[in-house]
Amino acid sequence: MHQWDFASVLANREALLVGAIGTLRIFAICLVAGLSLGFIVGLGRYSRNRLFYWPATAFTEFFRNTPVLVQILWFYFALPILVPFSIGPLAAAAMGISLNSAAFSAEIFRGGIQSIDRGQWDGARAIGMTAGQAMRRIVLPQALRRMTPALTNRAIEIFKMSTLASAVAYVELLQQGKLIASLNFNPIEAYTAVAVIFFVCLWPLVQLTYVLERRLGRSE
Amino acid sequence: MTLLSLRGITKRFDGKPVLAGIDLDVARGERIAILGASGSGKSTLLRCVNFLELPDEGSVALDGETVGRRERELTRVRQRIGMVFQQFNLFPHMTALDNVMEGLVTVRRVAKAAARERAERELARVGLADKAAAYPAHLSGGQKQRVAIARAVAMDPELLLFDEPTSALDPELVGEVLGVIRALADEGRTMLLVTHELGFAYHVATRVIFLAEGRIHESGAPDEVLKAPRRERTQAFLRRHKEFSL
Ligand SMILES: Nc1ncnc2c1ncn2[C@@H]1O[C@H](COP(=O)(O)OP(=O)(O)O)[C@@H](O)[C@H]1O
Ligand SMILES: [Mg+2]
């Protein structure tokens, strides 16, 4: 029977705090970069112009069908051999996770925009809106509301994918957990603590998006 | 004075000609009812007037100026032409008031306060002052269509296009919408009106045209076209609508 002993974990709470900050940092970067790039790629996928459609499609297919971990390792270990500069663990991990998230969220954006009735474009164009105004004022707000559940899932996925950054020794929660486990020989407590911290961070985030969804849905 | 001039408007979908050379001149203050069987291209014709569809051939001139094909020109022309759709196409994420304000604020860059005042007046005019804060989902079909009309009229259009504005409505709601259109007609506004309400067309239109095979098959005063049509297809169409009373 295992004797649970969280004292050794608590003793390292500062290391965990540093890890949590590292996790939040890479999460924030990847969320913004991944979703912004995903929106642009999604517009390309939605476009009827081949000049936009084909590059966006190639991008989506490539990054959806290669493992994020491989990309992170590639950016960290292979890229510096090919180009005359090296990139740090954060940049390598953030690139891998962001590009993957962009590919997946591009499909969410494309699908969301496509799901809006053509009549909405007609209504917007008929009062003299440009395509950009119609997208920004009429189509996108409605599409975003429909996409909220899917984008929420993406955000959660990004948060969890951040642990992959430990593969290149970026200081985040899992990396710190590993460190604590190896120094104190307490893998059960260390990894349990990491899992609990993830849950405590993510759960309120998800609740917040439920509130958001309800607020967005008030016109229905 | 001619406001709108269509010359040789042609439109094909998937190779199939829907409009096969439409010529039409509309003077200011004219109200033209457009009749035709389902699928005869009535909607397509209206949509070519404000370039929601680009004609394959032919030209559209507004106020004597032929409209080019650059996006900026099309946008500017659409600001001068209001359109009311069969399915309303209100913006569901905005209140009735915001729907009416949207064009003023986003397109015409009118200050918020002035736009609100104008939108409130337009809503009052269609009898919906008390529904300003309601979202479209909470309005009846007739109310939605009246908001849509207010949205179009708020932009001070020189020309109004109505595409079967009452066809999606329950019969008991048709009257309130026709009443609003009637009031606009009485103000002397220029309009193109696609409708199956032949009685309404008879009383409101200054001219009636009948579309068939992508062309204007017959055209004339309501008394001529609706009461004494000369062409056989027009007669057959009107016989099928014989339940209407003039
Ligand atoms: N966007 C489109 N793509 C393909 N076919 C279309 C499109 N719009 C209209 N059509 C076709 O053009 C014909 C005329 O349509 P429409 O102008 O809507 O007729 P109406 O309004 O008189 O009922 C129909 O056969 C319709 O199927
Ligand atoms: Mg139609």
Q: Please, what is the average pLDDT of chain A?
A: 92
Q: What pLDDT is attached to residue B175?
A: 93
Report yes or no on whether pTM surpasses 0.80: yes
Higher pLDDT pick, B239 / A218: B239
Rounded to an integer, the average pLDDT of A9-29 is 92
Q: Give the pLDDT confidence of B138-170 residue by residue, as tens digits.
A: 999 999 999 999 999 999 999 999 999 999 999
* Single-letter code of the amino acid located at A157: E
Please say whether the beta carbons of B154 and B119 come within 8 A. yes
Touching A: B residues 147-166, CB under 8 Å: 148, 151-152, 155
ipTM: 0.93
The region of weakest confidence among A28-32, A215-219, B5-9, B39-43 is A215-219
Q: What mean pLDDT is predicted for residues A166-193?
A: 92
**What pLDDT shows up at residue A60?**
95
Ligand nearest to the CA of B52: 1
- Residue B104 has what DSSP assignment? I
CB contact under 8 A, A131 and B92: no
What is the rounded distance in angstroms from the CA atom of residue B25 to the CA atom of residue A218?
Answer: 46
Residue B220, CA distances (Å) to A50, B22, B34 in order? 47, 15, 11
- The pLDDT of residue A104 is 95
CA neighbor of B81 nearest in space, from B11, B28, B155: B155
The domain limits of chain B are 2-242
DSSP A69-117: HHHHHIIIIIHHHHSS----HHHHHHHHHHHHHHHHHHHHHHHHHHTS-
Among the atoms of ligand 1, which is closest to the Cα of residue B211? 22
Searching chain B, which residue's CA lies closest to the CA of residue A141? B93
| Of B185 and A214, more confident | B185
Top mutation candidate among B44, B213, B233 for ligand 1, by most atoms within 8 Å of CB: B44
Percent of chain B with pLDDT over 90: 95
Q: What is the pLDDT of residue A185?
A: 87
Closest ligand 1 atom to residue B38 Cα is 23
Topology of domain B2-242 in CATH is: Rossmann fold (3.40.50)
CA A99 remoteness from chain centre: 9
DSSP B63: T
Question: How confident is the model over A81-121, as pLDDT tens digits?
Answer: 998 888 899 999 999 999 999 999 999 999 999 999 999 99
* Protein residues whose CB sits closer than 6 Å to any atom of ligand 1: B 13, 18, 36, 38-44
Domains, in order of start, for chain A: 23-173 (1.10.3720.10)
